[in-house]
Structure 1
């Protein structure tokens, strides 16, 4: 009995340091292991560079095959090869680029004007309860007005030149930027503002050094939403007596019963929207490089 007990004690005593050492090694390994920056549901998955192209390419191939096999009526849904021929003929005749540049210039101008006004008024409403009580009810009412409802009024007020088109696009871009910026300012920790005011910052410095940097994620979310709506409002804007633009191609294709022209214009709008959103997203990544957020892994380079 005594021998057995005395023999087991050294074994137990020897086991404890070993277990402690194993736990220490495990903790050291865990601490040395770099933190994984992907979502916990990814399980190490990293998307390839062309993963996002799989779905649109599959849709194009299926559409082409359906048209070739007479499963899909070509008069309702022209195959991608016919769309390519339509775009090529527009480019050869020198009509495609002027339509694209006209629409792009309108979107850029309207988006810039609407975003600038939204940032100015969003900052004002975000920092002033008086401004919120005065402006917020009117903005919420105006936000509910459909884009097409503005067209007759803008025609009466501003005529049929470029001005009403740009104003309509600016209206579409204004509200997402304004709402997101106000929400971002309201979500800022009050302690940050108290530190700024106790440090002697005036209102301009407080906005520059605390409010805008802290609300940048919300602002960029609003800018991307505003850019998307700007492209949507472009189609309505180019219904205002336009003779050039992608929206004009849509209207021309409808009036001439050419679904290939309509789909080609839709494809151009999709590509332009994706391109401008990618540029804005690149700017967002550069400006928010400091943010330690939990985000999915980027595609392989």
Structure 2
């Protein structure tokens, strides 16, 4: 029911957007090469699909994203669980994190390229940096909010550290971690595309740059549409994962 309502609302919203887009293209009198109407962009989309260009670049981007994102999530959650339980250590590391966190991952690209060369690795590292901090901060914050009373009661019952982590701490902090996962998906996907536009020879970001250099703005717009749709799907997949974990731990999805 919830999904069908979302699809209906999305259909209405995109229909209105396309109508406005077509109206502006016709009334404004813009050259189609400079402001392509929906019909021309649709032709570009069909071209990218039929010749396999879309599938090739999409596979590359998704492969980079999954590798960088999952690596960042695993490392950030592991560190967050440790640092959240050791306030003194977090007190020393927190200022460093707060200084590094606002720095755009793209700002590190000159060093990343020098250290890792050209290829998939620089894009993966950029994704890692973009996804790491939101998950780390949400995990640390969540662990510090866990009531010590619950932990002491569990320890009195003889629950070992790993069981304490699995049965008490993780179920308690996961809703907060899930917020970090959603934020990390958006930021990591944005910076993946930015990274591909700077120094890659494949991927959706490169597709846009290549189309721009060829003055094919219809393909640029098609690439933008694919990026937006892929980002939406990735966020929904994280939501499905969140719901699945909540069911395992007996939580009701909000």
TM-score normalised by the chain length of structure 1 = 0.77
**218, 222, 242: which one pairs with 2:200?**
242
Which protein has the bigger helix share? 2
What is residue 64 of structure 2 aligned with on the other side?
106
Report the CA distance shift for 1:261/1:250 in structure 2 as closer, same or farther (over 3 A): same
What is residue 202 of structure 1 aligned with on the other side?
160
Deviations 1:267-296 (A, max 9, x none): 111110111111111121222233357x4x
Deviations 1:111-165 (A, max 9, x none): 0111111011111111112331332222221112112211001011111121111
Question: How far apart, in 2, do the equivalents of 1:84 and 1:161 lie?
Answer: 31
Q: Do structure 1's residue 271 and structure 2's residue 226 form an aligned pair?
A: no
Which has more radius of gyration? 1
Q: Do structure 1's residue 142 and structure 2's residue 100 form an aligned pair?
A: yes
Q: Which has the higher mean CA deviation after the structures are superposed, 166-175 or 137-146?
A: 137-146
Q: Do structure 1's residue 130 and structure 2's residue 88 form an aligned pair?
A: yes
**7, 32, 41: which one pairs with 1:74?**
32
What is residue 286 of structure 1 aligned with on the other side?
244
Alpha-carbon offset, residue 73 of structure 1: 5.4
- 1:160–1:240: 8 Å Cα contact kept in structure 2? no
Alpha-carbon offset, residue 70 of structure 1: 4.1
SS in 2 for 1:239: helix
Alpha-carbon offset, residue 94 of structure 1: 2.1
Q: Do structure 1's residue 253 and structure 2's residue 211 form an aligned pair?
A: yes
Correspondences of 1:31-70 after superposition (within 5 Å):
47=5, 49-70=7-28
CA-based RMSD of the aligned residues comes to 2.0
Question: How far apart, in 2, do the equivalents of 1:253 and 1:173 lie?
Answer: 28
Deviations 1:221-272 (A, max 9, x none): 1111111111011122213431111000121233233322221111111110
Question: How far apart, in 2, do the equivalents of 1:48 and 1:137 lie?
Answer: 41
TM-score normalised by the chain length of structure 2 = 0.90
Matched length:
249
Question: How far apart, in 1, do the equivalents of 2:10 and 2:49 lie?
Answer: 27
Question: How far apart, in 1, do the equivalents of 2:31 and 2:105 lie?
Answer: 33
Specify every segment of 5 or more residues in structure 2 that has no aligned partner in the other structure, as ranges. Answer: none
Question: How far apart, in 2, do the equivalents of 1:65 and 1:243 lie?
Answer: 36
- 1:113–1:170: 8 Å Cα contact kept in structure 2? yes
What is residue 37 of structure 1 aligned with on the other side?
none
Specify every segment of 5 or more residues in structure 1 that has no aligned partner in the other structure, as ranges. Answer: 1-45, 296-301
What is residue 185 of structure 1 aligned with on the other side?
143
Question: How far apart, in 1, do the equivalents of 2:104 and 2:127 lie?
Answer: 12
- 1:147–1:236: 8 Å Cα contact kept in structure 2? no
Report the CA distance shift for 1:110/1:48 in structure 2 as closer, same or farther (over 3 A): closer
